[in-house]
Amino acid sequence: MMPTPAGHAPRPGGRFAAAGTGLAALAVVCWAVGTTRWQPLTEPVGPWSERLPGEHTYWARDLRFLALTAVVAGLVLAGGGRRPSTLRAVLLGGGALVADVAVDRADPTGPGATVLLVAVGWLAVGITATLGVHGDAAPGPDRAVLAGLPVVTVVLMLVAVTTRSPTGREPELGPAVLVTGLLLLASTVVGALAAVPGPGRPRLVVAVGMAVVGGVGLPLVRPVGSTDRLFPAAVLGAVLLVGVALLTRPWPDGRPAWRRLVLLVPVTVVVPLALLSGALLVSAALRLGAPLTALAGNSPIAGPDPFPALAGLLTGLLAALLPARPTVGQEPGGVVPSRPASAERR
C-alpha cells in the first residue's frame, strides 16, 4: 500500500458525511414535492365550502415536516454528530419550518415552483454540510449523538407509515408515505452504521438485514386498515430498534450480547408505542396543528387538529435519551478506548 501523502490524510467518516448530505438533498426534493404537489391535493376546493375539513385532512403537512426532519438528520450525520454542526442543522430545520409555513400560504404549484424550492433547499443544505464537514474543530464524531439519531428516525418512520387522510382513498397518499418512510429508513441504517467506528463485516450484514426488513415491512404495514395499523408498525419499529442496538452497542469478545438484546425486545415494542400513543393524544387535545393551519391560511379543522409529526419527533427524542449506555468505541466516562482495527473482523 502506498503511503498517504502529507497533508492528505483521509478524514474519518468522510463516506458517512457524503451519505448524510445526499440523504438531506433527497429529503429536500421530498419536501418540495410535498409543498407543490401533495399539499394542493389536501386543501378544500372553493372558498365557500359548506363543511369544514376533518381530522387528518392536511396529511401532506405531516409528510413535509417529516421530510424536514430527514434533512436535519442527514446534516447531523454529515457533521458527525458534533455539537456545532448539530446546532446548525437544528437551526436550519427551525428556519425551514418557518419557510414551509410561508410557502404553504403562498400556494405554489407546478414543476417550476418545485425546481425553485429544490434549488434553494440544496443551497442551504450545501452550505450547512460544508460548514459541518470542514468548519468544526472537533477531532472526531460524537458517537452518542450518532447512536441516538437512528432511534429518532425509526419513530418518525412509524409516524410516516401510519399517516392517514379522512377518506384514505387519495392515490397519491400511499406513494408519498412510502417515499417518506423509505427516506427515514435509509437515515436509520446509515446513522446506525456511522455510530460504529470501523464497522466490520458482521455489522454490515446486520445493516443490510435492517434495510431489507424495513424495505419489505413498510409496504406490508401500509395496506393494513388505518385503525389497526399502529401495532404492526410498532412491531416493525421494534425490530429496527433492536437492529440499531445490535449495531451501536459493544460486542463483548466480538459477539453480540444476545441475552441483553432478547430483554430489549419487549421494551422496544412497549415503550415507543406507549410514548407515541400518549404524544398523539396530547397533540390532539392541545390542537397543536391549529396554529400552523391558521398561519398557512388554510381552512380550520372541524374537531381536533393534531400534529402527528411533531408528536413523533418528541417521542423519538425522548426514546433516544432513555438508553443511557455507552456505544461502541465509547466508555461511560466518554473515553474512546484504543482497540485493534481488526477487533470486529474476527
Per-residue model confidence as pLDDT tens digits over 302-320: 778 889 999 999 999 998 8
Rounded average pLDDT over 282-298: 89
Question: What integer pLDDT is reported at residue 304 of this predicted model?
Answer: 84
Q: In angstroms, rounded to a whole number, what is the distance separating the alpha carbons of residues 284 and 134?
A: 42
Pair 221, 232: CB distance under 8 Å: yes
Whether the per-residue pLDDT at 345 is higher than 70: the answer is no
Question: What integer pLDDT is reported at residue 51 of this predicted model?
Answer: 56
66-93 pLDDT, tens digit each: 999 999 999 999 999 999 999 999 999 9
Pair 187, 77: CB distance under 8 Å: yes
Q: In angstroms, rounded to a whole number, what is the distance separating the alpha carbons of residues 39 and 107?
A: 8
202-257 pLDDT, tens digit each: 889 999 999 999 999 999 999 988 788 888 998 999 999 999 988 888 887 777 77
Q: Which class for 177: exposed (0-12), middle (13-18), buried (19 or more C-beta within 10 A)?
A: buried
pTM for the full model? Answer: 0.86
Residues 6 or more apart in contact with residue 330 via CB below 8 angstroms: 143, 144, 336
> Lowest-confidence range among 18-27, 97-106, 173-182, 281-290?
281-290
Q: In angstroms, rounded to a whole number, what is the distance separating the alpha carbons of residues 189 and 206?
A: 9
Nearest to 159 by CA among 310, 323, 318: 310
Per the model's pLDDT, the better-predicted residue between 42 and 150 turns out to be 150
Rounded average pLDDT over 104-123: 95
